Chains A and B, each alone.
Chain A
Amino acid sequence: MDMALKTARVALVGNPNSGKTALFNALTGAHQKVANYAGVTVERKEGLIRAASGRTMSVLDLPGTYSLRARSPDEEVTRDAVLGRLAGETPPDVVVCVADATNLRLVLRLILELRAVGRPMVLALNMYDIAQRQGLRIDLETLSAELGVPIITTVATRKRGIEDLIAAVEAKVEAAAVEGENRWSSPDSAALRHAAREAERIMKACVRPPERPDTLTGKIDSVLLHPVAGMAILFVLLFVMFQAVFSWAAPLMDGIEGAIGWIGGLVAALIPDQGGGGLIQSLIVDGIISGVGSVLVFLPQILILFLFIIALEDFGYMARAAFLMDKIMGGAGLHGRAFIPLLSSFACAIPGIMAARVIDSRRDRLTTILVAPLMTCSARIPVYTLIIAAFIPSRTVWGVVNLQGLVMFGLYAAGIVSALIVSLLIRKVFWRGAVEPFMMELPTYRLPDPKSVAFNLWLRAKIFINRAGRIILPLVILLWVLATFPYPPENATLPAIDYSFAGMIGRALEPIFAPIGFNWQMVIALIPGMAAREVAVAALGTTYAIADAENATGLLASTLSAQWSLATALSFLAWYIFAPQCVATLGVVKRETNSTKWTWIMIGYMFGLAYLASFVTYHVAVALGGG
């Protein structure tokens, strides 16, 4: 009775948009773990099923695919998991193939392929309620006989058929002795044609076309994919999304900042600041709490952004957005799917880079990751507003436009345009002009299920906190060490940071930054500013000895406008468009690309661009009299 002791392993396989993840959630509830597969950045979702019999089984939600002949890292994972080739994973005891009952043709071909693998299989005909509503008749007995697998009808969102599915899987586990031989090999086009014909034959034999086919999707598409109206709706939607990200998140962000300050104060009060205690207090309060806090503060924006993205994805709109934007993205050598990751990067590059996983092709994904940090993330806003308030007069130009607003707009535009140019160059230089095909299914529109949206949002939040936390923590400690040691001498006249390693590095780097108009205070501020871009504001406050600079921005602005020339200020803005002043982003890039080389390429090209842009800006401004 070995089987009863061993936890049986179940793998969910299916086409994209088959409701596979909804079924996974229905099967496992909250008992799931999200991680990465060893060596690749493909999300590994595993959960536990507790059957009525008391048996527990572990379920793996494999990435959606149309074929075992993998074309992307995600699909390779699916193939290798099913074939039992995946490093560190045992092959599944039972494969559950999840099919959208209203869209069977392609999945039938996939089932034929899966059958060749020879693992015990169960077919879950999901969204069966929709099929019934459409009057779609499926002869389950014949279909089951044709495919040689048991069929269970399910409605994952309503948790219908789940018990039956678990029972069917259990039955397969118990009968596990009969395991066919693996006859699968990568099909060539003749084999694909043959399988497609076979699927067509089964379709004709078992499925009667719907009496009331879905016409809603076509009607919605005629508006949302209309060349002009569709574009207009997309831009209105984006506008609403950005309004939400920036206005709804503001009170929550203030709340988090307040809470972080309060916790910092509490810890400071608990740890005595005499002797060794002072150092520990400084490490925890100034280093860890404020460092991690400076990234956590973006959580509300990220969650609001993801709320929109998840809801629109579940509705079926994201594929349409990719369709509408494909020509524009394609002009820059990007995939239509790159649109969402780049959009997310306006809030924060970290979720943007993580969202690039939706792109099949490795090259397109890498290009998207490399340009995502050029999008103006919200951490740049405090820096931009400080410099603009200090140096750009608030007056009206061309009759209607506010000059400060115009500069802000220019900074955003510079980010977008440079991202498009850089991605074009990446394609020309690294990929030598190869173009990946753009082809994807436009799924049927479905009303998003609020519970599943909430669940996915919670999962995203957990992943962000987990990843960001793990990457940021060691880095903020490093930055704290640089900014704290060695201590200033007894009779110090300058701010303490000037005597620290950060100060030394800043002074050493000063000659490099002199040609772009930066003084040593600025260079020093750039070092703690690596923690997150908006930390530069506080760091400038430190180097100019202004306490609580983040709240006293007026004072800091007037100090800066007295100390810097206009050319220096503009040069600083240009620097912040491009420079990768965010260790958290670099850490995430390292993880997502799984490549030190590409991380350094990003660091190199972004600092290079920043220096070049600042140099040009500074000298043009000086020549025009702004020195």
Chain B
Amino acid sequence: MSSAAIGQGVPLDGRGAHLIITVKEDARPLVRSPARVSLDLTDTIKLSQARRGDRGVIVQVGGHCHHKEHEVELERRLLELGFVEGAEVELLHEGLFGRDPIALKVDDMRVALRRREAASLIIRRVAA
């Protein structure tokens, strides 16, 4: 991760987190495996639990279970569609039945997703 990105306040993605930890080593307990652990879990929710109007920053893409092929594939597809750690998301619209699917603003584009897939994304909520 480039220092520019850290400076821009785009923290807390899996691998980038490693860099941040080394900087703040004394302030926080060291996390041994930087790949899959999000650090600050305060006010983080699964994107699938978000409601209309919620905003946040993606802190983790993909589940912990990396044995199942479809989970790995889902993670890659989400990444390709712009759901990457550090991206800003806002829930714009919800479907009529069961509030599903959801329409999101991801950085500067709009994406539709089912809540089922949104469960693979963890966001840290930001006040609107």
Contact = CB atoms under 8 A, between A and B. Distances in A.
A66 B109 contact: no
Nearest to A65: B80
A193 interface: yes
A190 B103 contact: no
A263 B92 CA distance: 57
Interface string A90-108: 0000000000000101100
B86 to A, nearest CB: 8
B54 interface: no
Contacts of A442: 103, 110-112
A324 B15 contact: no
Contact of B15 (A190, A231, A437): A190
Interface string B90-110: 001111111011010001111
Given A105-B107, A437-B74, A437-B117, A327 B98 contact: yes
Interface string A314-330: 00000100111011101
B1 A197 contact: yes
A440 B62 contact: no
Given A227-B96, A327-B100, A189 B77 contact: no
A553 interface: no
A336 interface: yes
A213 B110 CA distance: 14
Interface residues of B, number: 47
Contacts of B97: 327-328
Contacts of B16: 197
B93 A221 contact: yes
Interface string A399-443: 000000000000000000000000000000000001101111111
B2 interface: yes
Contact of A193 (B15, B81, B93, B109): B15
B116 interface: yes
B79 A196 contact: yes
B64 to A, nearest CB: 13
A16 to B, nearest CB: 11
B77 A221 contact: no
Contacts of A443: 110
Interface in A211-231: 213, 217-218, 221-222, 225-228, 230-231
A71 interface: yes
Given A225-B103, A326-B114, A440-B111, A193 B13 contact: yes
A609 interface: no
Contacts of A328: 97
A200 interface: yes
Interface string B50-93: 00000000000110000000101111111111101110000011
Contacts of B78: 439
B5 interface: yes
A98 B92 CA distance: 28
B16 to A, nearest CB: 8
A438 B117 contact: yes
B112 A438 contact: yes
A183 interface: no
Contact of A69 (B70, B76, B85, B94): B76
A109 B73 CA distance: 18
A193 B80 contact: no
A141 interface: no
Interface in A263-304: none
Contacts of A67: 76, 80
Contact of A324 (B13, B95, B109, B113): B95
B112 A323 contact: yes
Interface of chain A: mostly helix, strand, loop or mixed: helix
B111 A441 contact: yes
B80 A66 contact: yes
A193 B101 contact: no
A188 interface: yes
Contacts of B4: 201, 204
A622 interface: no
B62 to A, nearest CB: 6
B21 interface: no
A65 to B, nearest CB: 9
Contacts of B8: 204
Interface string B11-39: 00111100000000000000000000000
A147 interface: no
A140 interface: no
B117 to A, nearest CB: 5
Nearest to A205: B4
Contact of B82 (A69, A105, A204, A435): A105
Contact of B101 (A106, A187, A326): A326
B104 to A, nearest CB: 9
B45 interface: no
Contact of A192 (B10, B79, B109, B112): B79
B72 A189 contact: yes
A438 B101 contact: yes
B85 to A, nearest CB: 7
B116 A435 contact: yes
A437 B108 CA distance: 22
A211 B95 CA distance: 31
Contact of B5 (A71, A192, A200, A324): A200
Contacts of A201: 2, 4-5
A60 to B, nearest CB: 22
A200 B103 contact: no
Contacts of B84: 192-193, 196-197, 200
A438 B114 CA distance: 6
B17 to A, nearest CB: 12
Nearest to A437: B117
Interface string B112-126: 111011000000000
Contacts of B79: 189, 192-193, 196
Cβ-closest 9 pairs across A and B: A442-B110, A227-B96, A192-B79, A225-B93, A196-B84, A327-B97, A66-B80, A67-B80, A323-B112
Given A193-B13, A201-B4, 15 more contacts: A69-B80, A105-B82, A106-B109, A188-B76, A197-B1, A197-B5, A221-B92, A221-B93, A221-B103, A225-B103, A227-B96, A327-B100, A328-B97, A441-B111, A442-B112
8 contacts: A69-B76, A189-B72, A196-B82, A200-B5, A227-B95, A439-B111, A440-B111, A441-B109
